[in-house]
Structure 1
Amino acid sequence: MANKPTADQSTTQSGRSRAASPVTTRSDTSSNSKASSPSEAPKNQIDFQFLNFSHPSDAKASRARRTVRSHVTRRQHAQETALQATRKAQSFHDTSAEPEQPPATLRKHAVTLPSHRPTTLELASSSSTSAPITSSPETSSASPSPTTSPDQPSICRIDPSEVYPEEWHPYIPRVMEHYLSNLAVDIPDLDGPVTKGLLRTRFFPLIMTDAAPLHAVMLVAASHYSKVRGSRLHAIDLLQLRGMAIREINAALEDGRRATSDQLIAAVAKMASYEALFGDRDIFNTHMTGLTRMVTLRGGLPNLGLDGLLERILLWIDANATLIVGRHLYFDKNAFPTTAVHPRPDPQRFAGGIVRQP
C-alpha cells in the first residue's frame, strides 16, 4: 500500500470510492468548498483545501502538486501580510505615544562622600544667594524641588533605604520612631491652643521631601538614641551621617531652587540643634549665623512656610539652644520682627530629657 501523502493530501481506502478525506479531522467541509481567505479564517484555525483522488497514485500527478504549491504559497503570503500589518500598527503606536520620563533618582549619598568630611557650612554671600542660580546636571542635587508645603502631590517623599548604607537599614525605623516619640513631642509654643503634634504631622512630612533636612534630623535622632540607649544599639556611623548632612546642605546652597527653601532652613536649624546638644558650640554659632542670613533672604520670619510653624520652630530652637550653649538670641525681636510669640526656654523638653554637661 502506498505511503500517506504530505499536508493537504488524502488517500482513499477503495479505488471505486470517490469520497474525499480531509488532511485533518477538524473540518467537515465538502469537496466543493472554497478555501477561506486569510481575513475570513478564524484567528486560531487554519483554512483547509481538500483534494479528491480516485487512487493514491493521483497524489503524485503534476496537477495535484501545483495545487498544493499554490495553496501553500497563498497561505504564506497571507501570513506575511498579516505580520507586516501588525508591525506597522505597532510602529505607529510607539511613535505616537508620549515617551515616559525617567523617574528622578536619589543619589547614593553613602557612597559618594569625599575622602575628607566637611565640618562647616559654606554659606553663599547675600549677593550670590539672593538671585536664582542655574545649576548644571553635575552640580544640582537629586533632592526634590523645594516648596513651602509638603502636601502638594508633585512633591516626592524620600525612601531612606535609597540614601543610606545597607547596614544602617535595620536601625533606621527604630531611630525615626525614637525621634517621633522623644523629640517631636507636643509643645504648646509650637502647636497652639487647638492643634497638637504639629512636629509629627506637619514638620516631619516636610523633612522627608529633601535629603538635607532628612540627614540633619536623622543625625539628631541617632545621636539622641545613642545618648539614651547606648551607641552599640545601632550601626549608624554618626560621623559619616554628619558629613552627609553638611555635604548635602552645601550642595543645596549652590542650587537656586533650594538655597532658601523651607527644607534647607529646617536642615540648618536642626544642624544647629545638633551642635548645641552634642557637638561644637563654635559650629553652632556658624549654623545660626547662616540661618539668620537665609531668613533675611526669604524676607523675614513671617514669610516662612507651614502656616507659621517653621517660624515658631526657629524661635523655639533659638530660645533653647542659646540657653544651653550660653549665647545671646540670634532672632532678636528688634532685628527680626515676628508674628509669633518668643517662647520661654524649656531645655529639658527641647533636649528630650538629656542634659549636656558643660
Structure 2
Amino acid sequence: MEMKFVFINVKEPKDALQLAKETEVRSHVTRYQWKRFAHRDKRNQKKALVASRDVNGIEGQNDPGSRSSTLEPIPISPQIGGLRVDPFRSYPISAQPWIPLLVDHYLLHMAVDIPELDLPGNHGLLRTSWFPLVMTDPALFSVIMLLAASHYASLQDHPNSMRLDLLGLRYEAVSSINRGFETPLSETINDALIGAIAKMASYEAMFGSLDNYNVHMHGLARVISLRGGLASLGLNGLLKRIVIWIDHNAAFLHGSAMYFAESSFMPGEGLPDPNPGHFLGSS
C-alpha cells in the first residue's frame, strides 16, 4: 500500500498546532486513518474465515457419522446397585474388580434393618452409621468383604469354586487386623479396630470354627477393657450393641457362655431373644 507524506515547516511548536487545523493536513491524516482501518478489517475477515474452516474441520472429525471418524463410543458398564456403590471406588483398600459386587451384596442383603441393633425409632443404622465407619479402615473393610463374599458364596449353586478366593480374603482380613496392632495401643484401639475384631469373631462363629471364634472374642474382650469398657464404644451405642449381639447369638448357636454376659442393649433391660436367622443371614 502506497503511503504519502506531507512535509510541513515549523519553527515553533505552536505553529504545528495551527497547521493541523488547515484542510490539507487534516484531510491527509483522515485518509491515512481510513486506509489503516479498511486494511485491518480485511485481515480480520480473512482470519475469521480461516477459523471457521478449522472449526468445521474439527466438527467433521468428531462427528460419529463422519466417514473419516475413528472414534468409537466408550462403553460404560451400568452401576451395580443404583447408588449403593461408590462410583469413584474410594475404598480403604486397593481397588479390586470384585469389590463393587461384594459391597452391593453386603448393603442389599446383609446390612438390613435389625430391630435389636436399630432400637425403637431408628432404622437402617447398619447402612447409615455402621457402613461409613467400614469405609474408613482397611482392616474393618477387609473383614466385611470376607463376610460378604462368604455369604454370597453360600447362595451360589457351586460355592466350592470360590474356596481359594475366600481363603485369600480371610488371610487378608486377619493380616489387616494384625497390622492394626503395629502402632502403640493408645493410638490403635479405635472403633474401627474393635469392629473388625468383633466381625472377625462373627465370621468364625458362622463360617469357621469355635476355637477361632474364642481366640477373637478373647482378644475383643481384652481391647474393649483397655479402651474403657463397652460404654466407651462409639457410633452412639451402635458398636456396643453390635458386640453384644454377636456375643449373644454366637453363644446361642454354639451352646457356649457369653463373654459380656452382664451387658444389655439398654440400661436396666434384659437381652432380647437370640435371632439366629438375622445373625446368619445379615449384619
Tell me the TM-score range normalised by the shorter chain.
Answer: 0.5 to 0.7
Name the amino acid aligned to 2:148.
A
Query: How far is 1:245 from its partner?
Result: 1.1
Query: In 2, distance between residues paired with 1:338 and 1:258?
Result: 29
Tell me what 2:256 maps to: 327
1:174-253 matched pairs, under 5 angstroms? 174-229=101-156, 230-231=158-159, 237-253=165-181
Name the amino acid aligned to 1:159.
S
Query: In 2, distance between residues paired with 1:307 and 1:162?
Result: 26
1:60-209 matched pairs, under 5 angstroms? 159-160=90-91, 163-165=94-96, 169=97, 171-209=98-136
Query: How far is 1:224 from its partner?
Result: 0.4
Listed one character per residue, the Cα deviations across residues 90-138 of structure 1 (whole Å, up to 9, x for unaligned) are xxxxxxxxxxxxxxxxxxxxxxxxxxxxxxxxxxxxxxxxxxxxxxxxx
Name the amino acid aligned to 1:193.
P
Query: In 2, distance between residues paired with 1:263 and 1:341?
Result: 27
User: Aligned pair in 2 of structure 1 residues 195, 161: CA closer, same or farther (>3 Å)?
Assistant: closer
- Greater helix proportion: 2
Query: How far is 1:159 from its partner?
Result: 2.2
On the 8 A contact 2:134/2:140 being kept in 1, the answer is: yes
User: Aligned pair in 2 of structure 1 residues 181, 203: CA closer, same or farther (>3 Å)?
Assistant: same
Listed one character per residue, the Cα deviations across residues 137-192 of structure 1 (whole Å, up to 9, x for unaligned) are xxxxxxxxxxxxxxxxxxxx982385144xxx1x3222222212222111111111
Query: In 1, distance between residues paired with 2:95 and 2:164?
Result: 9
On the 8 A contact 1:275/1:284 being kept in 2, the answer is: yes
On the 8 A contact 1:315/1:343 being kept in 2, the answer is: no
Query: In 2, distance between residues paired with 1:201 and 1:346?
Result: 22
Aligned residues: 203
Query: How far is 1:197 from its partner?
Result: 1.0
Query: How far is 1:342 from its partner?
Result: 2.8
Could you tell me the TM-score, scaled by structure 1's length? Answer: 0.50
Tell me what 1:270 maps to: 199
Could you tell me the TM-score, scaled by structure 2's length? Answer: 0.63
On the 8 A contact 1:268/1:291 being kept in 2, the answer is: yes
Query: In 2, distance between residues paired with 1:341 and 1:182?
Result: 28
Query: How far is 1:286 from its partner?
Result: 0.4
Q: Can you give the 5+ residue segments of structure 2 that lack an aligned partner in the other structure? A: 8-31, 34-87
Listed one character per residue, the Cα deviations across residues 270-325 of structure 1 (whole Å, up to 9, x for unaligned) are 10011111112211100000000011011111110001010001010001112223
Listed one character per residue, the Cα deviations across residues 45-97 of structure 1 (whole Å, up to 9, x for unaligned) are xxxxxxxxxxxxxxxxxxxxxxxxxxxxxxxxxxxxxxxxxxxxxxxxxxxxx
On the 8 A contact 1:260/1:294 being kept in 2, the answer is: yes
Query: In 2, distance between residues paired with 1:247 and 1:285?
Result: 18
Name the amino acid aligned to 1:241.
L
1:275-354 matched pairs, under 5 angstroms? 275-333=204-262, 339=267, 341-352=270-281
Structure 1 residue matching 2:188: 3-state secondary structure: coil
Query: How far is 1:238 from its partner?
Result: 1.3
On the 8 A contact 1:301/1:337 being kept in 2, the answer is: no
CA RMSD of aligned residues (A): 3.2
